[in-house]
Chain A
Amino acid sequence: MVSAWTHRLILSRPFRYSQLLGQDIDVVNDLAISVRGLRKTYTSRANGSKDAVAGIDLEVKSGEIFAILGPNGAGKTTTVEILEGYRDRDGGEVKVLGQDPGKLGSDSWAWRNRIGIVLQSTNDAQDLSVSETINHFANYYSNPRDPESVIHDVGLDEKRDARIQTLSGGQRRRLDVALGIIGNPEILFLDEPTTGFDPEARRAFWDLIRNLRDEGRTILLTTHYLDEAEALADRVAVIVDGKIIEVSTPENLGGRNNAKARISWLENGTKQEIESDFPAAEVAKLSTKFGGEVPELTVIRPSLEDIYLKMIGQL
């Protein structure tokens, strides 16, 4: 009796790690990031005012890779830069690791100490070497990772003494990631991390990101590459014109998992076409009807690309 009562008491009172660790992590919700009704409007003399972000809701769980997928200019970078504390917002609620990035007080360093940021293309510190830069940035954090192991993890061992200006685009991006994770962050933000990569470099980079997730970090990445979201993300939010039109796993995006298959064949010299949830049964029926092979039979499921392009209004 007593134990059942105690049990219910524990369940009914949200238990917070914050009471234990002095940190503001909501263990019951286990959310690294929560966003409600986020708005941002840019006003320019030429174009009047434009809603870059027009009411976004997001929840990113601790330890997942969450991708914000959308075409250029959809509001991805604006959203992420608000979460990173770079930009003010015009409306809505934002919590990142329990804090509002728009209202960081004098202890903002403690919040920044727990996040890592990989910005879109940067061009700084050209005259320093990879290892000088990474070792230096480690000094900014209270609990940094070992610089040598970070250099190793991002695959820059061979370039550790090279000047940054001699790095290729992909190596440069790896350095950006190294600087993003040197502080041992709980959340890593990546803004279009693989733009301009060759396919091989992208695959290597994706492995790096997966390893970071496996270490228990939360990763929020923006991308305009569908295959990147599909390969990396546990969940994807598709953003178009400042609005999120769907949040889902890559497998279920756009209802792909239960989209109807399209079956077409030639009958009496004209092309016939039907859509069906049970394509195998339809094909069996046709086969019986034709007594074996069906002329010009095709069965097509929409590709993820088709679904995505339809979603963002490009098809």
Chain B
Amino acid sequence: MRPNIIKVGFLRGGLEIKQFMRQRESVVFTLLFPVMLLFIFGSVFKGDLAPGVTFSQYFVAGMIASGLVNTGFQQLAIMIPLERDFGTLKRLRGTPISPISYFIGKAVLVFVAMIVQVGALMGFGAALFGLDLPNTTERWLRFIWLILLGSICSTILGIAFSALPKNGRGASAVVSPIVIILQFFSGVFFVFSTLPQWMQQFAALFPLKWLTQGMRSVFLPESFATQEVAKSWEIPQIAIVLVIWTVLGTILALKTFKWSEK
């Protein structure tokens, strides 16, 4: 009897979390970097975007969305080529483990790291910048599915992308510019509706813009929806775009995933 693929995946997730927590640099970077960014932006831009909507409030939505992209896509697209270099993947290839279990392990790691990161960001934001936390059950539920679906989508795209860098050393140089450009285009650092139209349309092709919009629907007042480009939060569209990217990413990841460099 083959050991259950999903169970092995969650066991791998546990192991990944253990390894992650023992690398102090990565923990500090993942947890503190968003908080530091919030501190910098929150200190620079003190004004309100609309009555009752501080820049920090707007920015936290973007930070959580881009946290999903950093923790999932960016981290994995760098980490997996390194694991290839270190022989981690070659060793796994020689065992009966399914790639699906390995993917699930990564998704569990990303999801747990996200929860911790979001907790730190919201705690820090609420304490220092008067961040308003989601105020209805509906918003909390939406928040949870956005993080869950966002983590899975970001994980699988990171795995799919990890086939591209030739080795671990070069990975960061390939991945980081893509993420930074998407952050600028998707309304993480600037108010999305003020961006040029071509930028908005380009960003709409990728998940980050939709994740950011979804997070705004969680953190900003209902009235702010009218300030969106589409005059609405477009929740169903967000779900559809994320599901499409997740499905495409899964197909791609299963096709291109490489256990070793050859």
Contacts and interface: CB of A to CB of B under 8 A. Distances in A.
Nearest to B88: A124
Interface in A174-198: 179, 183
B176 to A, nearest CB: 24
A183 B1 CA distance: 13
Interface residues of A, number: 27
Contacts of A117: 91, 94
Given A127-B19, A128-B19, A139-B3, A112 B94 contact: yes
Contacts, number: 73
Nearest to B85: A123
A142 B3 contact: yes
B94 A124 contact: no
A59 to B, nearest CB: 23
Contact of A122 (B8, B23, B87, B95): B87
Interface residues of B, number: 26
Given A87-B262, A119-B87, A119-B90, A142 B22 contact: no
A23 B95 CA distance: 19
A224 to B, nearest CB: 20
B11 interface: yes
A228 interface: no
A86 B90 contact: yes
A124 B23 contact: no
A124 B196 CA distance: 46
Contacts of B7: 139
Contact of B87 (A87, A115, A124, A142): A124
Contacts of A112: 94-96
B84 to A, nearest CB: 10
Interface string B251-262: 000000000101
Interface in A108-133: 109-110, 112-113, 115, 117, 119, 121-125, 127-128, 132
9 contacts: A109-B96, A110-B96, A112-B95, A123-B86, A125-B88, A139-B7, A141-B3, A141-B96, A142-B2
